[in-house]
């Protein structure tokens, strides 16, 4: 595994009916948009019956929530795997940001699946939107912990800045500004880590 890790989860390999439905939904929702894909198409492409669909999911929104939660779970697992390989907090933070760059430059990139889902389910009370917010809370917590462990003087400020640049990178990458995104991400993480050094860590001058 490379030091970086992707910011969107790979589509799971289909096997059981529920897995096939989730794999099909993951691919179609991300590529075409959630509201653009109907239940009938999901059933047909997943090769399941309508009864099977409703046995596993109470409706489309429940499937969408499962899709968002599956993306979140996969990314958490990838982060934990990276954390086993990289002990140094600043290095792990750079790997996380490097993974975002890798994702933005990857084939078929269509923006952040979480931001996309929130845009289609803007009501904070919906399970889909809550699942998106849960992921973002986790991501922000990871940044806070890494920045604190790296000795940053103001982890909350730095985490907010990194979340904003990450969101901007997702939009910029989708619009085709991939080289600029990669350069900007690397520059910002260097600036954030450098700006948070204590006088002792920064050395004389």
124 alpha-carbon distance from chain centroid: 19
Q: At what angle do helices 17-32 and 60-85 cross, to 10 degrees?
A: 90
Spatial separation of the C-alpha atoms in residues 112 and 115, rounded to whole Å: 5
Question: How many angstroms separate the CA atoms of 156 and 162, rounded?
Answer: 10
For the chain, domain boundaries? 61-194
Give residue-wise pLDDT tens across range 113-133.
999 999 999 999 999 999 999
Mean pLDDT of 3-15: 50
In this predicted structure, what is the pLDDT of residue 180?
87
More confident residue, 195 or 165: 165
pLDDT grade, residue 112 (50/70/90)? very high
Decide if 74 contacts 10 (C-beta within 8 A). Answer: yes
Element (H, E) at 93: helix 89-104
Predicted pLDDT at 197: 55
- Answer whether residue 193 shows pLDDT above 70: yes
pLDDT on residue 179: 86
Mind listing the pLDDT tens digit for each residue in 12-22? 445 699 999 99
User: What three-state secondary structure class fits 41?
Assistant: helix
Q: How confident is the model at residue 203 (pLDDT cuts 50, 70, 90)?
A: very low
Greater model confidence, 139 or 193: 139
DSSP 2: -
pLDDT confidence of residue 176: 81
* C-alpha span between 78 and 139 (Å, rounded): 12
91-109 confidence digits (pLDDT tens): 999 999 999 999 888 888 9
CATH topology of domain 61-194: Tetracycline Repressor; domain 2 (1.10.357)
């Amino acid at each position: 595994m490379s030091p970086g890790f992707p910011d969107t989860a790979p589509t799971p390999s289909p096997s059981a009916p529920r897995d096939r439905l989730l794999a099909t939904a993951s691919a179609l929702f991300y590529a075409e948009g959630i509201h653009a894909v109907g239940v009938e198409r999901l059933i047909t492409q997943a090769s399941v019956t309508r009864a099977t669909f409703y046995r596993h999911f109470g409706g489309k929104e429940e499937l969408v929530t499962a899709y968002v939660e599956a993306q979140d779970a996969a990314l958490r697992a990838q982060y934990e795997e990276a954390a086993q390989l990289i002990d140094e907090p600043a290095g792990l933070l750079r790997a996380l940001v490097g993974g975002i760059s890798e994702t933005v430059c990857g084939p078929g990139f269509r923006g952040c699946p979480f931001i996309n889902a929130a845009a289609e389910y803007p009501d904070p009370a919906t399970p889909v939107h809550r699942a998106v917010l849960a992921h973002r809370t986790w991501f922000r917590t990871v940044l806070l912990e890494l920045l604190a462990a790296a000795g940053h003087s103001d982890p909350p400020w730095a985490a907010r800045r990194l979340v904003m640049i990450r969101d901007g990178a997702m939009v910029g990458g989708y619009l085709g500004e991939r080289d600029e995104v990669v350069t900007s991400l690397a520059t910002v993480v260097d600036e954030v880590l450098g700006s948070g050094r204590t006088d002792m860590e920064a050395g004389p001058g």
